[in-house]
A and B are shown apart, each in its own frame.
Chain A
Amino acid sequence: KAGVTQTPRYLIKTRGQQVTLSCSPISGHRSVSWYQQTPGQGLQFLFEYFSETQRNKGNFPGRFSGRQFSNSRSEMNVSTLELGDSALYLCASSPWTASNEQFFGPGTRLTVL
């Protein structure tokens, strides 16, 4: 079974631009969670999607949004990029929303200049 895939793996943007990151979960998994990892704040929960619905969101501004498609693939979008958005963005796949099993993808490294 293929693991979680994230694209692109690396991305460089400039302040003010917007970016879209993609995550394909493990086949059969219906829940996708997103996390941001920075040296200063560590790993923080962004949001979780299940059955195309956002179930929960962490403490992030409205510039951070996401969506999930009927095939469970998820995208997250960050608008009006700031320097502080530079981070490793990790996606995690779970069989269902209440599952305690989360399988992580390799991450997307976003650099904002």
Chain B
Amino acid sequence: AQTVTQSQPEMSVQEAETVTLSCTYDTSESNYYLFWYKQPPSRQMILVIRQEAYKQQNATENRFSVNFQKAAKSFSLKISDSQLGDTAMYFCAFMGEGGGADGLTFGKGTHLIIQP
């Protein structure tokens, strides 16, 4: 079984700063997917970014980028030019080769607070 660990329960930064959220995972699979989801106070889970393990290039989506270190089983999320609307819970998640049939394995989450 795979595990996902987020070691930062809460982080707080000033608006416009850059922040990095950490995530490590453990798996014996060679092909898998990693995700960062955002859950604002509305509780709606929103996909922020996705990384396929077989791709060496780090995924980027506008102000969001990841640092994927497959050998180290590390998958951190960098948010540049942080905005007040980025305040939310952020969950790192793993999906194995079976895709949706196996479900997502989530970390415990990091509560990110962007201060004005």
Contact = CB atoms under 8 A, between A and B. Distances in A.
Contact of A106 (B43, B47, B52, B98): B43
B109 A48 contact: no
Given A97-B99, A100-B100, A107-B44, 20 more contacts: A31-B100, A33-B104, A35-B104, A43-B91, A43-B106, A45-B102, A46-B103, A50-B100, A55-B101, A56-B103, A97-B100, A98-B99, A98-B101, A99-B100, A100-B52, A100-B99, A102-B104, A104-B37, A104-B45, A104-B46
A102 B102 CA distance: 12
Classify chain A's interface size.
20 to 34
Interface of A: 31, 33, 35, 42-46, 48, 50, 55-56, 58, 88, 90, 92, 94, 96-104, 106-107, 109
Contacts, number: 72
Interface of B: 33, 37, 42-47, 50, 52, 91, 93, 95, 98-109
A56 B101 CA distance: 6
Nearest to B100: A94
The 4 closest A-B pairs by CB, nearest first: A45-B103, A98-B99, A104-B45, A43-B106
B43 A48 contact: no
A58 B104 CA distance: 10
A43 B104 CA distance: 9
A46 B105 CA distance: 11
26 contacts: A31-B100, A33-B100, A35-B104, A42-B106, A42-B109, A43-B93, A43-B106, A44-B106, A45-B102, A45-B104, A48-B103, A56-B101, A88-B43, A94-B100, A97-B99, A98-B99, A98-B101, A100-B52, A100-B95, A100-B99, A102-B100, A103-B47, A104-B44, A104-B46, A106-B44, A109-B43
